[in-house]
Structure 1
Amino acid sequence: MKPSGPLFTLLAGLLLGVFMLSLNATTGKNTTASAYGDTATPTPAASAPAPSQTPARTPSQTPSPSPSATAVADAEYAGRTNDDAAAVSVSVRGRKAIGYYCDGRSQESWLKGDVEDDGSLRLTGANGARLDGVLRAGKIAGTVVIQDRTRKFSAARAVKPSGLYRATAEVRGARIDGGWIVLPDGRQVGIVTRDGKPAAAPRIDPASGVVTVDGTRLTARPVVP
């Protein structure tokens, strides 16, 4: 007796279903996912940890050495005020300075102070006298204030016998104090004070410093701080 057509078709369908199940099991495919068109979301790869960033090392800074003191040579300086009214001289020794302002008639002032590392000077004297200057390139330039009057001056380095001289003594019962500036051109400007009374000074012998005051022979010596 021959099997009927519908029965044969049913058996064929069952066999096909078993075959498809076996094929899915073998390949591991998800037929449901394929049916709906879903795609598997890939698992994101673990990001590698960022390398640790070590701060760039700043090179150590070596402290700058302190500026060395300006070399100041022992020397004398002599010159005149810009208005040619008076002479100015400064003697420098070991960063100490003595200055002298003199008009050769009645006005004078002795000043003293220090020479700073940058070559600047600030000398002071009696009655508010002041000398401010800068020592540079072999000369001193600045201002001098005497009796509230300010004058500019310039004094070049002096070569013997130019420079600053002073003599003190007692002559005929009077106290003598004389100051002289010998300028580079040979001119002399000086005042001799007798018991506090100033007057023009006689000339000195620049080679020896000898001078005669009121008939008495004195020796004017170079001034050093």
Structure 2
Amino acid sequence: MTGLFERGVGDAWRTLHPRVRDRYGLESGAGREAVGVGRMHELDRSPLAVPALWLGTLDDFLFPERGADVPFTIVTEPFVDDEGTEALVLRRRFETSPPRTFVDTLRWNPARGCLTDLFGRHGRVAADLHISAEDGALALSIGTQWLRVGGRYLEVPPPFSADGHLRDWYDDGENRFRVSATITNPVVGTVFEYQGAFETEFRPLEDDAPSPSALGGVALPGENA
């Protein structure tokens, strides 16, 4: 199968840095996961965003702590969802005080023609995810967002929706990956942002391991229209 990120980027996939393609070209049949270990040089947010970020901690989706030089890990594991297509679950752990976890599950959404990101352990917040290649880097942006209520999706209108961008690239001079992410809102300003660097290794997956995410069978936006 074609990896999820490769499908999202399309023909521009070949323009990505080889190390970026290696990390994000994960496929379920390869039997491996990517484990990144590094430090966030900066974790920040607007004070106005703190109440919403506290709510996010209830489902391992964002958090209110700030910090500098914060150790973190990110595990990216591919799997096959209930529709038989490639999917990914990403689990991040930030060594703040207290430590925080940020989980999301990415799946291809035929109804929307793009990736859908289901945030948190239960995926109550979802968003279109658009992926592109920029000068060898992987660039992600958040599109339309939804709240999942009673099995149905309600589109989040402005000014409550957010604008999010992430850029992940390989620094040949430092021999490590670098990442920069920003989520903003017109009312509160910077909802969440971080900048950091990490190194990656690949670890084997057990053949009989259970599905890493219960969200592989959850209906996606557009499927209940």
Fold in common (TM above 0.5):
no
| Length-normalised TM-score, structure 1 | 0.30
| Length-normalised TM-score, structure 2 | 0.30
Q: Highest Rg: 1 or 2?
A: 1
Which has the bigger relative contact order, CA under 8 A and spacing at least 6? 2
